[in-house]
Amino acid sequence: MLAFVIGLVSCSVLTSVHTQKLDTLMDTRIQFRVDEETKRLAQQMAESQGRTLSDACRNLIEQLADQQRKALSHDVWLSEQVNLAFDKLDAGKSTFIEHDQAKSIMAERKAKIRSRSVDS
């Protein structure tokens, strides 16, 4: 992975970002600084993989963006689940149980799961 070390040499990367929602192509320039040694080593590694340093930087940025998309997607899903639970509560369709009973139910579920993995 590339180390982003603040230094002296400017490394400019012209990236093409394809947005899935708009299905359009946008060009964005990203610029950051690294020391000469970091740039040289990163460039050698990229070239040994048959790609340019700009390609390597672009791939890293795309990976970071994909990770963020997944995180945002999970946040949306979690919010929906919480809202559904509150809707169920508001509609009077929730069943409340005591803490000790909930612990007992979970212990039973865990035991079933563990017994399945032992039996396999």
Secondary structure (DSSP) of 18-61: E-TTT--EEEEEEEEEE-HHHHHHHHHHHHHTTS-HHHHHHHHH
What confidence tier does 118 reach under pLDDT thresholds 50, 70, 90? confident
Residue 71 DSSP symbol: H
Q: Which has the minimum average pLDDT: 86-90, 105-109, 114-118? A: 114-118
Mean pLDDT of 60-69: 96
What confidence tier does 96 reach under pLDDT thresholds 50, 70, 90? confident
Task: Quote the CA–CA distance of 100 and 52 in Å, as a whole number.
Answer: 60
- pTM of this prediction? 0.53
